[in-house]
Homo-oligomer: A and B are copies of this chain.
Amino acid sequence: MVTLAEVAQHAGVSASTVSYVLSGKRSISATTRQRVEQSIRELGYHPNAGARALAGKRSNIIALMVPLRTDMYVPVMMEIAIAVATTARAHGYDVLLLTGEEGPDAVRRVTGSGLADAMILMDVELEDERLPLLRGGDAPGRATSGPGDEQPSVLIGLPADTTGLTCVDLDWSATGALCVEHLAGLGHRDIAVIGEAPAVYERHTGFAERTLDGLRSRARETGVRVLHRPCEGGYDALALTLARIFDERPGTTGFVVQNESAVEPLLALLRQQGRAVPEDVSVVAICPDQVAVQASVRLTSVAIPAQEMGRRAVEHLVAKLDGRGGDEVVLLTPELTVRASSGPAPAAP
């Protein structure tokens, strides 16, 4: 293994000079810099990460905690994770992959050991047990031992109480409202919402509940009726759900789907029942654009900006680590794209 000392010797300078060439923290004459850089290249030198972390008190690693469960739409998580890794590298950080498995202990372990300089948490629940460890500022009852002691962190998702936290998320409430607005504008008066699996609601995942809130309050404002049904994915589960919906509200002409694995079954079943999309019923999906355009009917949808979320999370974290910017809640504005699955409500029979 090549060490900094070897590079120094090869270049005929002192160790500190090599270090400063690398960090740029003091000015170096052009000739010295070139000699050092030359030696670095010739010897194939890579600074030792452990030594750096020890002496410099920063590991240049960001921890990313992904959920262990996979009852959520996996490609979105993956896209976020990849965006995080890519953006982090662009800022000189590596990414440590943690699963939710260890729970709050992982936070303590990573914080305490200096393994990572900061963390990003995905799949945050409304009352998340990891939050007390991360809350900064002057939040009462926080569990850190002193000011400035907490791990810089960014949540992807919104807990109930965001005091002293930095969060990045799609504005799910606005997303729900946007869907209702679109359908109401087309004259639909009876809307059914096909949601995530029941477990997602029971777990009090923020995004699902907030979407519902947005949906319902805009429905109230526009005089539209909304019926919400959680749903496991797949054909069988959806067939049941759909039957119950039409049973209870035969006049339903609009659907909002927030569950990727229910999208295609819904379209298939509607077709099978002789209900044309969008002539008889309109469908609005909350899903990644890729899913919307690959479906059997090109879906009017609100996109889930996975990459954007990952990228923004890292950028906020890096800003914090550089001492710029503090706690903040960033809500991304949802955008609805009209495609072939929504149209005017049919005239009442």
Contacts and interface: CB of A to CB of B under 8 A. Distances in A.
A44 B89 CA distance: 32
Nearest to A61: B96
A186 interface: no
The oligomer's copy count stands at 2
A50 B53 contact: yes
Contact of A46 (B75, B109, B295): B109
Task: Summarize A's interface: helix, strand, loop or mixed.
Answer: helix
Interface in A279-301: 293-296
A295 B268 CA distance: 11
Most B C-beta atoms less than 10 A away, residue of A111, A115, A293 = A115
A7 interface: no
A296 B261 CA distance: 12
Interface residues of A, number: 55
Interface string A38-80: 0000001111111111100001010010101010001101110
Interface in A293-332: 293-296
B296 A268 contact: yes
A94 interface: yes
B114 A99 contact: no
Most B C-beta atoms less than 10 A away, residue of A2, A53, A64 = A53
Contacts of A79: 70, 74
Contacts of A70: 75, 78-79, 82
A113 B46 contact: yes
Contacts of A235: 294-296
A203 interface: no
Contacts of A296: 235, 265, 268
Nearest to A69: B82
A112 B294 contact: no
B66 A82 contact: yes
Interface in A98-129: 98-99, 101-102, 108-109, 111-115
A82 B95 contact: no
Given A75-B75, A296-B265, A44 B112 contact: yes
A47 B47 CA distance: 22
A137 interface: no
Contacts of A95: 96-97
Contact of A113 (B49, B102, B234, B261): B49
A68 B82 contact: yes
Interface of A: 1-2, 44-54, 59, 61, 64, 66, 68, 70, 74-75, 77-79, 81-82, 85-86, 89, 94-99, 101-102, 108-109, 111-115, 233-235, 261, 264-265, 268, 293-296
7 contacts: A1-B112, A49-B50, A49-B113, A70-B78, A77-B78, A95-B96, A234-B294
